[in-house]
Amino acid sequence: MNRRNFVRSTAVIGAGLSLPFSTTLASGTKDELRIGFIGTGLRGQGHLDAIAKREDCRIVAYCDVDPRMLDRTKELVSAHNGLRPAVYTGSEEAWRVMLAKEDLDAVIISTPWEWHVPMAVAALEHNLYVGMEVGGAFSVEECWELVHAEEGSRGKLFFLENVCYRRDVMAVLQMVRAGIFGELVHFQGGYQHDLRAVKLNDGKQPYGGGVEFGEKGFSESKWRTQHSVRRNGELYPTHGLGPVAMMANIHRGNRMTHLTAMSSSSRGLHDYIVGHPKGGPDHPNARVRFALGDVVTTMIQCQNGESILLQHDTSLPRPYSLGFRVQGTKGLWMDVNQSLHVEGSSPAHQWEDAAPWLAKYDHPLWKKYADLATGAGHGGMDWFLINSFVEHAKRGEHPPIDVYDAAAWMVITPLSERSIQQGSAPQSIPDFTNGRWVNRIPSFAIQEDY
Amino acid sequence: MNRRNFVRSTAVIGAGLSLPFSTTLASGTKDELRIGFIGTGLRGQGHLDAIAKREDCRIVAYCDVDPRMLDRTKELVSAHNGLRPAVYTGSEEAWRVMLAKEDLDAVIISTPWEWHVPMAVAALEHNLYVGMEVGGAFSVEECWELVHAEEGSRGKLFFLENVCYRRDVMAVLQMVRAGIFGELVHFQGGYQHDLRAVKLNDGKQPYGGGVEFGEKGFSESKWRTQHSVRRNGELYPTHGLGPVAMMANIHRGNRMTHLTAMSSSSRGLHDYIVGHPKGGPDHPNARVRFALGDVVTTMIQCQNGESILLQHDTSLPRPYSLGFRVQGTKGLWMDVNQSLHVEGSSPAHQWEDAAPWLAKYDHPLWKKYADLATGAGHGGMDWFLINSFVEHAKRGEHPPIDVYDAAAWMVITPLSERSIQQGSAPQSIPDFTNGRWVNRIPSFAIQEDY
């Protein structure tokens, strides 16, 4: 209690200060983390539910503008005994009131993409430990703003990229660190997910049933689809890039230097509207011209010579696949065929089932906590994400996925847009660490406790 | 006989003429095609053997500079009754003598890459029907030279891209033409083949056993490896590009407009030399610096909006895969997992085994000739390639894979090299058809006889 009051008062005092380097919130480990939620749509509800199940967190408040989502959240909260969080709503600025009024240690931001950075910056000004959901940025400047906000805060930015915690991805990271693939030279990843029924629905259910979006949509179709109307680029880079960035030691002895992007034609969403029983050629949305190419491919060069290929593919009928490929001088793993080849172990020139390798190199965290993670979102990986966030936040520790990672992964979006606008011209990727990537060392999933 | 003499005499008369458009060699179908071979290394021997088995061809002459390859060819020839071809050798210009002295209808060129275009140009000047093996070009100008040579000849250029005839590729082409994948938006292909034991051998056997190349190498290591020393680019684009170019109707209502390329670091060949029992860190070849990146990725934009991704990956341990992906508004096929997804037929968001679809859409040519093709090179596809070449040549018909295809596919190599030299800057792809792509219609594998 005393500790929390101490933190609170220094937070108030420090709100106007700008510190040259990030520091920890406080020494020692908090018994309880006081958390607020900005955004309780489906993703925020998932996080809130995960946090509510924990003994070491107290949900102090939450905030949203959508009455239907607030109803759902209220229902969720009532299913947990003893929760009495304050609710902030009624204005697009209600979250600012929550940040000003509530005594918080940490905040989790799960809002439409365009709100991520302004909200994170404000929360950092309150010296909070900030969990920010993923998405792409809108400008290079916005990414710098996020970096500068954290560098001037006693708070921290934990970028909530859950795929870094996927079981196979973490096993492959262990294999990479054990040298199984030799020196790495090439990576692939992406976001290949048929989101047509997410981007277009009936305004009542979150998935499918119609071809509405924007004001007439519900959940993600309310805000996400408009990005497909206006923008053409790698709009959602981090699920594919984050895991391989960790394997490539980006910002830990390596960095991304430049990229070039190319877009296919844009047909999928229009065809879906025209072909849907609730749509058709005369539906008003059949006249919408979607800017987003159905398949956007981005190539990224790294300082140490590696290439990274990203693919964004969310408007066509296709099976879900993040398209991972991790390739080095001794072999490679691909997830689309769930196979790998390791020289000297696999039969020459042949694929081998990846499963026994993934089991052998199962990450210690998964070995320890797999039972607890069962039933958590996205195959359990969300449990590890939230656990890592909470345990780091309780200790005020530097996040394993930090503000530099967030900035460099998110900046792929505006740079890919610019590259496509310029006929695939290469774009420099800023060094958001200002040279600190040279000496930083890996911290993600190094220790085995959280 | 009369017809052949007629063709021969008009060829001699016409050798100095430059005609504005390609014309057929002669009306009607030849009873017998008189063929010469330039280059009888392993690939040339394969073609010679295939031709020797046919009733409708006569092998008139062949030419090579390598005594060991000539010995092997002589042995091959002696296995066929009644063959008495003339042999040309002893100088790098011996093939010119062969072209001048022999009475040929057609020639097949299977030499190191740098000889393809000069030899094809000279053969076209003799008004021959030219089968030219695949490879990348060295300059944009070289590709124009090839085009101009054919346009000024009564001969024809048939580009011998065998993967266009692969059984699954032809079935997918049938599916594309049947609209199974809807409107196509994105393609992938490549040449992903661990060639380390091809590029480095013991100078006696064609595959492996040592780490020698160049003067001390044998077969492909004698000439191909030097390209990995000096050049960095998409060195072997056509196996991946050819099949998808046919599906995308390149030069038949579509064309490739520009590309950008990126290279990974170059580690594989050096590591192989150092780690090989006959090599080691003190072997002279351990000091060779290979320019070729282990994984080179190229993105190509098409006039009608499609994107094509190519990958060249020949210096690392990996299973063979041409990495095909054919994707449209109704689904996609990938060969690495031998799966596809077709909207409305496949379970939603799930892969389906491609095999039943490939069987259902088996190309009529494969249905008709699969038995004959059994045992031919590369899973039988070489039989279809040679059959198509001979049947088109006998009739003097326009080749289904023609000089414009050759030029545009081969030019990917020098343009990718330039893009990499310029930090992945985009490069325009010339329109070698000078606008004729607008009105040309598909001809590859349209008819069902050959």
Range name among A45-54, B13-22, B116-125 with the lowest pLDDT average: B13-22
**B28 pLDDT band (50/70/90 cuts)?**
confident
With respect to residue B108, please indicate whether it lies within any of the assigned structural domains: yes
Residues A154 and A181 in one domain: no
Angle between helices A364-373 and A381-395 (to 10 degrees): 110
Residue A419 domain flag: yes
Q: Which residues of A touch B425 (CB under 8 A)?
A: 425-426
Which of B191, B164, B228 lies closest to B320 in space, CA to CA? B191
Q: How far apart are the first and last CA of chain B?
A: 24
Which regions in chain A score pLDDT beneath 50? 1-25
Of B163, B193, B209, the domain-final residue? B163
Q: Which pLDDT belongs to residue B447?
A: 86
Six-digit token string for A169:
């991805």
> Is A395 among the domain residues?
no
Does A337 contact B336 at a Cβ distance shorter than 8 Å? yes
Residue A147 sits in the same domain as residue A226: no
Q: Is residue B22 part of a domain?
A: yes
- Supply the pLDDT for residue B378: 84
**B contacts of A294 (beta carbons < 8 Å):** 185-186, 329
Examine the domain organization and report whether A197 and A317 are in the same domain: yes
B269 confidence band (pLDDT: 50, 70, 90): very high
Distance from CA of A241 to the nearest CA of B (A): 16
Q: How many domains does chain B have?
A: 2
Is residue B308 in a domain?
Answer: yes
User: Is a pLDDT exceeding 90 seen at residue B350?
Assistant: yes
Instruction: Give a yes or no: residue B154 inside a domain.
Output: yes
Lowest mean per-residue pLDDT among B6-15, B55-64, B433-442: B6-15
pLDDT score, position A4: 41
Do residues A117 and A175 share a domain? no
d(CA B157, CA B160): 9
- Cβ neighbours of residue A207 closer than 8 Å, sequence gap 6 or more: A197, A198, A201
Identify the burial level of B395 via C-beta atoms within 10 angstroms of its C-beta, where 0-12 means exposed, 13-18 middle and 19 or more buried: middle
Residue A303 and residue A247 in one domain: yes
Mean pLDDT, range B286-312, rounded to an integer: 98
Assess if residue B43 is contained within a domain: yes
The answer as to whether A383 is a domain residue is no
pLDDT top residue among A312 and B13? A312
pLDDT in tens, B206-217: 999 999 999 999
Of B163, B185, B200, the position where a domain reaches its end is B163
C-beta atoms of B319 and A295 within 8 A: no
Task: Inform me whether the pLDDT recorded for B17 exceeds 50.
Answer: no
Shared domain for B132 and B250, answered yes or no, is: no
Query: In angstroms, what separates the C-alpha of B180 from chain A's closest C-alpha?
Result: 12
Position B375 confidence tier, pLDDT thresholds 50, 70, 90 = confident
Q: Is the pLDDT of residue B6 over 60?
A: no
- Label residue B317 by pLDDT band (50, 70, 90): very high
Closest residue in chain A to residue B303, using alpha carbons only: A265
Domain ranges, residue A41: 3-163
Collapse the DSSP code of B238 into the 3-class scheme (helix H, G, I; strand E, B; otherwise coil) and give the result. helix
List chain B residues with CB under 8 Å of A319. 341, 349-351
Q: Which of residues 253-272 of A touch B (CB under 8 A)?
A: 258, 260, 262-268, 271
Question: Do A237 and A321 lie in a common domain?
Answer: yes
| pTM given for the model | 0.93
| Residues A310 and A170 placed together within one structural domain of the fold | yes
Chain A partners of B271 at a C-beta cutoff of 8 Å? 182-183, 329
CATH code at A431? 3.30.360.10
CA distance A444 to chain B (A): 25
The reply to whether A101 and A201 lie within a common domain is no
Q: Is A15 an 8 Å CB contact of chain B?
A: no
Number of H helices, E strands in chain B: 16, 15
Query: What CATH number did the domain enclosing A146 receive?
Result: 3.40.50.720
Predicted pLDDT of residue B20: 35
- Among B110, B137, B163, the domain boundary falls at B163
Question: What pLDDT, on the 0 to 100 scale, is given for residue B13?
Answer: 38
Shared-domain flag, residues B212 and B130: no
Same domain (yes/no): B92, B182: no
Distance from CA of A341 to the nearest CA of B (A): 6
Overall average pLDDT of the B396-408 stretch? 97
Q: What is the ipTM of this complex?
A: 0.93
Predicted confidence at residue B27, as pLDDT, reads 62
User: Residues A335, A200: one domain?
Assistant: yes
Token pair belonging to A241: 């890039």
Pairwise CA distance, residues B45 & B74, whole Å: 10
- Nearest-angstrom CA–CA distance, B132 and B282: 40
pLDDT of residue B21: 37
pLDDT on residue B9: 38
